[in-house]
């Protein structure tokens, strides 16, 4: 199974080509250029380095949010076009789940956090047991204090691994609320890697959970800032 996986849900761009469990090509790009400038040239380069053409891809994996509204739309539009012209399926992957995978096998509980500014975050809680990642708190938009209060209300007597830019930004609050139970992953694990998107895409494909290009929808969780500001003025 040949998988082309992409993440552009934040400021960075990550691309991976995988064949079954083997990584053929992987890249990460963090520049001042926009995703609209970088995604196509980098996918073309990835395919060339792997000696593949677009028709060799069996499944397209893409993070569908939450995350940057612009980045998500650019990634989705690109993958939808590829899936349409090749008549191949798409694996729609939660950005938070892809982030959580990066903390495996650090602990039983994993809490990915993406910063959404002004103490607002995107987060979830997963448990990891016998190679299975299960959702305990579904993907959602939270205030950081509300999330920490919710985590404290659970009877969790094991460490919780926090991962993501939001975890780094709010690390002091997290440690103050949860004490030694909180383990904050370093910056290396705080950016989504398309290799993990490819891994999750393979699982979805094997489980028959892929979709076609017409079914692809993004998970914003919050309204765009411009829309929120307009509502506040009304």
What average pLDDT score do residues 142-167 get? 94
Report how far apart, in Å, the C-alpha atoms of 185 and of each of 10, 13, 34, 136 are: 18, 20, 27, 20
State if pTM tops 0.85.
Answer: yes
Shared-domain flag, residues 91 and 198: yes
Q: Which of 105, 133, 102, 43 is nearest to 113 (CA)?
A: 102
Shared-domain flag, residues 62 and 177: no
pLDDT at position 105 is 74
The region of weakest confidence among 45-49, 62-66, 130-134, 166-170 is 130-134
Query: Percentage of the chain surpassing pLDDT 90?
Result: 79
CATH of the domain at 44: 3.30.420.40
For 156-186, what is each residue's pLDDT tens digit? 888 999 999 999 999 999 999 999 999 999 9
What average pLDDT score do residues 112-121 get? 94
The domain containing residue 78 runs over which residues? 2-95+192-233
Structural domain count of the chain:
2
pLDDT at position 234 is 52
Shared-domain flag, residues 10 and 89: yes
Query: Percentage of the chain surpassing pLDDT 70?
Result: 94
DSSP percent split of the chain into helix, strand, coil, nearest 5: 40, 30, 30
Q: Find the angle CA(66)-CA(220)-CA(204) to the nearest 5 degrees.
A: 55
Shared-domain flag, residues 9 and 52: yes
Shared-domain flag, residues 19 and 58: yes
């Amino acid at each position: 199974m040949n998988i082309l996986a992409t993440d552009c849900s934040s400021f960075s761009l990550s691309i991976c080509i995988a064949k079954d469990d083997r990584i053929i090509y992987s890249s990460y790009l963090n520049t001042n250029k926009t995703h609209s400038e970088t995604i196509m040239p980098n996918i073309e380069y990835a395919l060339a380095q792997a000696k593949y053409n677009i028709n060799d891809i069996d499944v397209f994996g893409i993070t569908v949010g939450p995350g940057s509204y612009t980045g998500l739309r650019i990634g989705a539009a690109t993958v939808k076009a590829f899936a349409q012209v090749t008549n191949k399926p798409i694996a729609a992957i939660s950005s938070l789940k892809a982030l959580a995978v990066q903390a495996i096998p650090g602990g039983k509980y994993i809490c990915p956090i993406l910063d959404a500014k002004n103490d607002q975050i995107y987060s979830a809680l997963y448990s990891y047991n016998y190679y299975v990642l299960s959702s305990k708190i579904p993907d959602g938009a939270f205030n950081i204090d509300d999330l920490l209060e919710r985590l404290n209300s659970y009877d969790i007597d094991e460490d919780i691994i926090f991962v993501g830019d939001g975890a780094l930004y709010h690390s002091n609050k997290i440690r103050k609320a949860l004490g030694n139970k909180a383990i904050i992953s370093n910056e290396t694990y705080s950016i989504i890697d398309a290799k993990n998107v490819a891994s999750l895409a393979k699982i979805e494909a094997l489980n028959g959970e892929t979709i076609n290009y017409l079914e692809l929808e993004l998970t914003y969780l919050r309204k765009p800032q411009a829309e929120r500001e307009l509502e506040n003025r009304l």
